Structure formats: C-alpha cells, structure tokens
Amino acid sequence: MNYLIKTLTSIIMVYLSINYSFAQATASATATATIVTPISITKNIDMNFGNISVTSSGGTVILDPNGTRTKTGGITLPIITGTVTAAQFTVSGQGNYTYDITLPSSSVVLSSGANSMNATSFTCSIGTTAGSLSAGSPGTQTFNVGATLAINANQPSGSYTTATPFNVTVNYN
C-alpha cells in the first residue's frame, strides 16, 4: 500500500509539473537607445544700441530683433547711428529637433564708470518656443535678440557696456 501511495504521488507530481510547464510562455525584447547631437548655442554678434542723444526728460530706445531702433520720450537717434546690431546667435544640434529659448527675465545693467542704464524686455526674432533646427547633422538655426534700453533724464555721455554678458539659454523640447 505504501508503494502504491508513493507511486501515485509521484505520478501526480509529474503530471502537475508537466501541466505547469505548458502554462508558461516566454517573449523576448531588445533594448535600444539613441544618442542625439547635444544642443549648443554660439554668439555671433553682440547687441549694440548705437549712438543715442538724450534730453532732460529721458526715455527708451527699443532695438527690435531685426536691428531697427525706435525711441520714446526725450531721446534722439542721431543721423550718425554708430553700430546698431541686435545680438545674433546660432543654435546647433540634432537635425529636425525643436527647442525652447530662454531670454533674460530681469534687467541687464550697462555701465560707464558710476553711471548706468538698464536693458529689459528682451525679444527674439523667432519667439521663445519656436526654435526648429534644420535637417542635417548637425541641424542649425540662427536668430536675433533685441531689447529695450531705459535712458535716464540727463544721462551722462559715455560708452556703456555690460560688466558681464547676458545669457540666452536653449533646451530641446
């Protein structure tokens, strides 16, 4: 009887293990990764508001991204303009990728000795979420940045420059 129970138990165990192995299924998957060209930005041209004349009432000079100046208040834009340029940057990276642009959100101080003026309201020729790299490797795109320069009443004459450059940041979407 013991022999019969042991044999029967062994048969049941084999049967259960066979059924269990038939209930299994296996699938395989591969893993992949694509390394894209890192995004980079290069400054091509510095921003320059050009020659400005101020009266006792002050005002602003708006330099739009295409390099055109307009004035408000007691500002005069002399016929001899000096060098007037919007800042220009080139972005390089993975072809056909899009990216965001972050412009300065606070004022940038231009100084001449103890005197200063503030540049604010930075604008970009392609918007800040419209960057799109060209096809190819690497893809590239060039854009311009303008700003508004606030000029105080009776601003002393001089050559005003930023102590540190302003930052323009780009990130893939």
The residue ranges of every structural domain in the chain are 36-172
Check whether domain 36-172 has CATH 2.30.230, yes or no: no
Tell me how far apart the alpha carbons of residues 117 and 105 are, in angstroms, rounded to a whole number. 16
Residue type for position 21? S
pTM: 0.82
Contact 123, 62 (CB under 8 A): no
pLDDT in tens, the chain (173 residues): 676 676 766 676 666 565 555 678 999 999 999 999 999 999 999 999 999 999 889 999 999 999 999 999 999 999 999 999 999 999 999 999 999 999 999 999 999 999 999 999 999 999 877 789 999 889 999 999 999 999 999 999 999 999 999 999 999 99
Question: What is the pLDDT, as a whole number, of residue 136?
Answer: 85
